Amino acid sequence: MFDYHIHTSISFDSEESPEAVIKEAEKLGLSEICFTDHHDLNGKPDGVHYLFTLEDYSKAYDHLVSDKVKIRRGIEMGLTLWNKEVAEEFIKGREFDFVLGSVHYADGYDPYFPEFWDGIDFRQGVDKYLKDTIECVKLHDDFDVLGHLTYVFKSTHNPTHSTLPYSEVRDMADEIMKILVAKGKGMEINTSGVDKAGDFLPSIDYLKRFRELGGEIVTIGSDAHDVSRLGQYSKEAMAMAKEVFGHVCTFEKRKPIFHKL
Ligand SMILES: [Zn+2]
Ligand SMILES: [Zn+2]
Protein backbone atom coordinates (compact mmCIF):
# COMPACT_ATOMS: atom_id res chain seq x y z
CA MET A 1 0.00 0.00 0.00
CA PHE A 2 1.07 3.53 -0.75
CA ASP A 3 0.41 6.91 0.81
CA TYR A 4 1.31 9.73 -1.51
CA HIS A 5 0.03 12.73 0.41
CA ILE A 6 1.63 13.32 3.80
CA HIS A 7 2.42 16.47 5.79
CA THR A 8 4.89 16.89 8.63
CA SER A 9 6.19 19.88 10.58
CA ILE A 10 7.76 21.22 7.38
CA SER A 11 4.17 22.21 6.54
CA PHE A 12 2.72 25.23 8.36
CA ASP A 13 -0.27 23.22 9.57
CA SER A 14 1.40 20.09 10.96
CA GLU A 15 3.55 19.33 13.98
CA GLU A 16 4.33 15.74 13.09
CA SER A 17 7.91 14.51 12.86
CA PRO A 18 9.09 12.73 9.70
CA GLU A 19 10.66 10.01 11.84
CA ALA A 20 7.32 9.25 13.51
CA VAL A 21 5.66 9.00 10.10
CA ILE A 22 8.19 6.43 8.93
CA LYS A 23 7.83 4.42 12.12
CA GLU A 24 4.05 4.39 11.74
CA ALA A 25 4.28 3.55 8.03
CA GLU A 26 6.44 0.55 8.91
CA LYS A 27 3.92 -0.49 11.54
CA LEU A 28 1.03 -0.19 9.09
CA GLY A 29 2.88 -2.17 6.47
CA LEU A 30 2.90 0.63 3.86
CA SER A 31 5.42 -0.16 1.17
CA GLU A 32 5.98 3.39 -0.07
CA ILE A 33 5.26 6.90 1.18
CA CYS A 34 5.75 10.36 -0.22
CA PHE A 35 6.09 13.53 1.84
CA THR A 36 4.14 16.33 0.22
CA ASP A 37 4.52 19.46 2.29
CA HIS A 38 2.57 22.61 1.59
CA HIS A 39 4.24 25.28 -0.45
CA ASP A 40 1.14 27.35 -0.61
CA LEU A 41 1.08 30.73 -2.20
CA ASN A 42 -2.00 32.68 -1.31
CA GLY A 43 -4.66 33.22 -3.94
CA LYS A 44 -3.69 36.89 -3.81
CA PRO A 45 -0.05 37.92 -4.29
CA ASP A 46 -0.15 40.21 -1.24
CA GLY A 47 -1.86 37.59 0.98
CA VAL A 48 -0.25 35.36 3.62
CA HIS A 49 1.80 32.59 2.03
CA TYR A 50 2.52 29.26 3.71
CA LEU A 51 5.97 28.27 2.53
CA PHE A 52 8.95 26.17 3.54
CA THR A 53 12.60 26.63 2.66
CA LEU A 54 14.50 23.99 0.71
CA GLU A 55 17.14 24.09 3.42
CA ASP A 56 14.64 23.07 6.12
CA TYR A 57 13.14 20.48 3.80
CA SER A 58 16.49 18.84 3.08
CA LYS A 59 17.41 18.86 6.76
CA ALA A 60 14.16 17.11 7.64
CA TYR A 61 14.11 14.47 4.90
CA ASP A 62 17.41 13.81 3.19
CA HIS A 63 18.91 11.62 5.91
CA LEU A 64 15.83 9.42 6.40
CA VAL A 65 16.14 5.72 5.60
CA SER A 66 14.03 2.63 6.16
CA ASP A 67 14.57 -0.91 5.03
CA LYS A 68 10.82 -1.53 5.00
CA VAL A 69 9.31 1.60 3.46
CA LYS A 70 10.40 3.31 0.29
CA ILE A 71 10.60 7.04 1.04
CA ARG A 72 9.87 9.60 -1.64
CA ARG A 73 10.28 13.33 -1.34
CA GLY A 74 7.56 15.44 -2.87
CA ILE A 75 5.72 18.69 -2.47
CA GLU A 76 2.11 19.88 -2.49
CA MET A 77 2.40 23.01 -4.57
CA GLY A 78 -0.52 25.39 -4.29
CA LEU A 79 -1.64 26.36 -7.78
CA THR A 80 -2.99 29.87 -8.13
CA LEU A 81 -3.80 32.14 -11.03
CA TRP A 82 -0.70 34.29 -10.49
CA ASN A 83 2.10 32.00 -9.23
CA LYS A 84 3.15 29.95 -12.29
CA GLU A 85 6.65 31.42 -12.55
CA VAL A 86 7.22 31.56 -8.79
CA ALA A 87 6.14 27.93 -8.40
CA GLU A 88 8.31 26.71 -11.26
CA GLU A 89 11.31 28.58 -9.91
CA PHE A 90 10.87 26.99 -6.49
CA ILE A 91 10.43 23.46 -7.85
CA LYS A 92 13.64 23.88 -9.85
CA GLY A 93 15.48 24.28 -6.54
CA ARG A 94 15.75 20.56 -5.84
CA GLU A 95 15.01 17.20 -7.35
CA PHE A 96 11.57 16.27 -6.07
CA ASP A 97 10.15 12.82 -6.76
CA PHE A 98 6.62 14.09 -7.02
CA VAL A 99 4.75 17.37 -7.38
CA LEU A 100 1.15 17.30 -6.29
CA GLY A 101 -0.57 20.39 -7.66
CA SER A 102 -3.45 21.56 -5.50
CA VAL A 103 -5.90 24.40 -5.78
CA HIS A 104 -6.58 25.84 -2.33
CA TYR A 105 -7.95 29.22 -3.36
CA ALA A 106 -10.74 30.45 -5.55
CA ASP A 107 -11.17 34.14 -6.15
CA GLY A 108 -8.52 34.68 -3.49
CA TYR A 109 -10.28 32.73 -0.74
CA ASP A 110 -9.76 29.24 0.66
CA PRO A 111 -13.03 27.25 0.88
CA TYR A 112 -11.66 25.70 4.06
CA PHE A 113 -12.40 29.00 5.84
CA PRO A 114 -15.74 30.74 6.41
CA GLU A 115 -14.92 33.91 4.44
CA PHE A 116 -15.03 31.94 1.21
CA TRP A 117 -18.68 31.13 1.83
CA ASP A 118 -19.75 34.67 2.78
CA GLY A 119 -22.86 35.60 0.82
CA ILE A 120 -22.86 32.51 -1.41
CA ASP A 121 -24.61 29.17 -1.17
CA PHE A 122 -23.16 25.67 -1.56
CA ARG A 123 -23.69 25.46 -5.29
CA GLN A 124 -22.16 28.88 -5.93
CA GLY A 125 -19.16 27.91 -3.81
CA VAL A 126 -18.65 24.69 -5.75
CA ASP A 127 -18.88 26.53 -9.09
CA LYS A 128 -16.48 29.21 -7.91
CA TYR A 129 -13.91 26.61 -6.84
CA LEU A 130 -14.12 24.50 -9.99
CA LYS A 131 -14.01 27.58 -12.21
CA ASP A 132 -10.69 28.65 -10.71
CA THR A 133 -9.43 25.07 -10.88
CA ILE A 134 -10.05 25.07 -14.64
CA GLU A 135 -7.95 28.22 -14.99
CA CYS A 136 -5.20 26.87 -12.72
CA VAL A 137 -4.77 23.58 -14.58
CA LYS A 138 -4.83 25.50 -17.87
CA LEU A 139 -2.09 27.83 -16.65
CA HIS A 140 0.25 25.48 -14.78
CA ASP A 141 2.38 22.73 -16.30
CA ASP A 142 4.90 21.92 -13.59
CA PHE A 143 2.94 19.38 -11.54
CA ASP A 144 2.40 15.63 -11.86
CA VAL A 145 -1.00 14.99 -10.33
CA LEU A 146 -3.92 17.23 -9.40
CA GLY A 147 -4.62 16.99 -5.65
CA HIS A 148 -8.14 16.59 -4.28
CA LEU A 149 -10.16 17.75 -7.30
CA THR A 150 -13.23 18.19 -5.09
CA TYR A 151 -11.46 19.92 -2.16
CA VAL A 152 -14.36 22.38 -1.93
CA PHE A 153 -16.54 19.64 -0.39
CA LYS A 154 -14.12 18.96 2.47
CA SER A 155 -14.49 22.22 4.37
CA THR A 156 -16.34 22.17 7.67
CA HIS A 157 -17.86 25.44 6.43
CA ASN A 158 -19.33 23.73 3.38
CA PRO A 159 -22.95 24.46 4.26
CA THR A 160 -24.17 20.98 3.28
CA HIS A 161 -21.23 18.91 4.63
CA SER A 162 -21.67 16.70 1.62
CA THR A 163 -20.38 16.16 -1.90
CA LEU A 164 -21.93 16.48 -5.33
CA PRO A 165 -21.80 13.62 -7.83
CA TYR A 166 -19.96 14.04 -11.11
CA SER A 167 -23.26 14.33 -12.98
CA GLU A 168 -24.05 17.59 -11.14
CA VAL A 169 -20.83 19.30 -12.19
CA ARG A 170 -20.27 17.49 -15.47
CA ASP A 171 -19.20 20.40 -17.69
CA MET A 172 -16.66 21.92 -15.35
CA ALA A 173 -15.27 18.58 -14.15
CA ASP A 174 -14.91 17.44 -17.78
CA GLU A 175 -13.05 20.58 -18.69
CA ILE A 176 -10.57 20.06 -15.84
CA MET A 177 -10.10 16.37 -16.57
CA LYS A 178 -9.67 16.89 -20.32
CA ILE A 179 -6.89 19.39 -19.64
CA LEU A 180 -5.21 16.94 -17.26
CA VAL A 181 -5.38 14.16 -19.84
CA ALA A 182 -4.06 16.41 -22.62
CA LYS A 183 -1.15 17.49 -20.42
CA GLY A 184 -0.39 13.92 -19.26
CA LYS A 185 -1.24 14.72 -15.64
CA GLY A 186 -2.81 12.41 -13.10
CA MET A 187 -5.59 12.45 -10.57
CA GLU A 188 -5.31 11.90 -6.85
CA ILE A 189 -7.72 9.80 -4.81
CA ASN A 190 -7.59 11.83 -1.61
CA THR A 191 -8.99 9.78 1.25
CA SER A 192 -9.37 12.65 3.74
CA GLY A 193 -12.85 13.44 2.45
CA VAL A 194 -14.30 10.16 3.72
CA ASP A 195 -14.55 11.37 7.31
CA LYS A 196 -14.96 15.07 6.49
CA ALA A 197 -17.46 14.99 3.62
CA GLY A 198 -18.59 11.38 3.40
CA ASP A 199 -16.66 10.38 0.26
CA PHE A 200 -13.30 10.31 -1.44
CA LEU A 201 -12.03 13.50 -3.08
CA PRO A 202 -13.02 12.90 -5.78
CA SER A 203 -15.52 10.06 -5.61
CA ILE A 204 -15.53 7.04 -7.93
CA ASP A 205 -17.87 8.57 -10.54
CA TYR A 206 -15.32 11.33 -11.28
CA LEU A 207 -12.53 8.74 -11.48
CA LYS A 208 -14.51 6.62 -13.93
CA ARG A 209 -14.99 9.63 -16.14
CA PHE A 210 -11.30 10.51 -15.92
CA ARG A 211 -10.48 7.00 -17.08
CA GLU A 212 -13.05 7.24 -19.87
CA LEU A 213 -11.40 10.46 -21.09
CA GLY A 214 -8.07 8.67 -21.28
CA GLY A 215 -6.66 9.45 -17.82
CA GLU A 216 -4.12 6.88 -16.72
CA ILE A 217 -2.11 8.29 -13.85
CA VAL A 218 -3.66 7.89 -10.42
CA THR A 219 -2.18 8.21 -6.92
CA ILE A 220 -3.62 7.60 -3.47
CA GLY A 221 -3.07 9.98 -0.57
CA SER A 222 -4.39 10.30 2.97
CA ASP A 223 -3.48 14.00 3.36
CA ALA A 224 -2.41 13.03 6.89
CA HIS A 225 -1.15 15.91 9.01
CA ASP A 226 -0.29 13.53 11.85
CA VAL A 227 0.34 9.81 12.12
CA SER A 228 -3.19 9.00 13.25
CA ARG A 229 -4.48 9.43 9.68
CA LEU A 230 -1.56 7.88 7.85
CA GLY A 231 -2.72 5.33 5.29
CA GLN A 232 -6.33 5.92 6.29
CA TYR A 233 -8.80 4.36 3.81
CA SER A 234 -5.89 3.46 1.53
CA LYS A 235 -7.14 -0.07 1.20
CA GLU A 236 -10.56 1.14 0.04
CA ALA A 237 -8.98 3.64 -2.34
CA MET A 238 -6.76 0.90 -3.71
CA ALA A 239 -9.87 -1.19 -4.44
CA MET A 240 -11.35 1.78 -6.31
CA ALA A 241 -8.17 2.28 -8.32
CA LYS A 242 -8.20 -1.40 -9.17
CA GLU A 243 -11.79 -1.27 -10.34
CA VAL A 244 -11.41 1.89 -12.41
CA PHE A 245 -7.81 1.83 -13.66
CA GLY A 246 -6.44 -1.64 -12.92
CA HIS A 247 -3.35 0.02 -11.46
CA VAL A 248 -2.09 2.72 -9.12
CA CYS A 249 0.95 4.98 -9.53
CA THR A 250 3.94 6.06 -7.52
CA PHE A 251 6.62 8.47 -8.66
CA GLU A 252 10.38 8.61 -8.80
CA LYS A 253 12.11 11.78 -9.98
CA ARG A 254 8.84 13.03 -11.45
CA LYS A 255 8.25 9.88 -13.55
CA PRO A 256 5.19 7.72 -12.89
CA ILE A 257 5.63 4.06 -12.01
CA PHE A 258 2.55 1.92 -12.71
CA HIS A 259 1.72 -0.84 -10.25
CA LYS A 260 -0.74 -3.36 -11.63
CA LEU A 261 -3.48 -4.26 -9.17
ZN1 LIG B 1 -4.33 20.26 -0.18
ZN1 LIG C 1 -2.35 18.24 1.78
Give the residue, 2 or 48, on which the prediction is more confident.
Answer: 2
pLDDT exceeds cutoff 90 at 44: no
For residues 58 and 21, is the Cβ–Cβ distance under 8 A? no
Mean pLDDT over 35-56 rounds to 93
Domain carrying residue 256: 2-260
**Residue 235 pLDDT:** 96
CATH for 44: 3.20.20.140
Nearest to 206 by CA among 180, 232, 235, 233: 180
Tell me, in angstroms, the distance from the centre of ligand 2 to residue 142's CA: 17
Overall number of domains in the chain: 1
How many Å lie between the centroid of ligand 1 and the Cα of residue 188?
Answer: 11
**C-alpha 190 – ligand 1 centre gap (Å):** 9
Across 18-40, average pLDDT: 98
Spacing, Cα 220 to ligand 1 middle (Å): 13
Nearest to 14 by CA among 207, 193, 160, 223: 223
How remote is the CA of residue 202 from the centroid of ligand 1, in Å?
Answer: 13
pLDDT at 4 over 90: yes
Q: Which is nearest to 187 in space by CA: 172, 166, 208, 171? A: 208
Position 162 scores a pLDDT of: 85
| Beta strand segments in 105-192, E | 145-146, 186-190
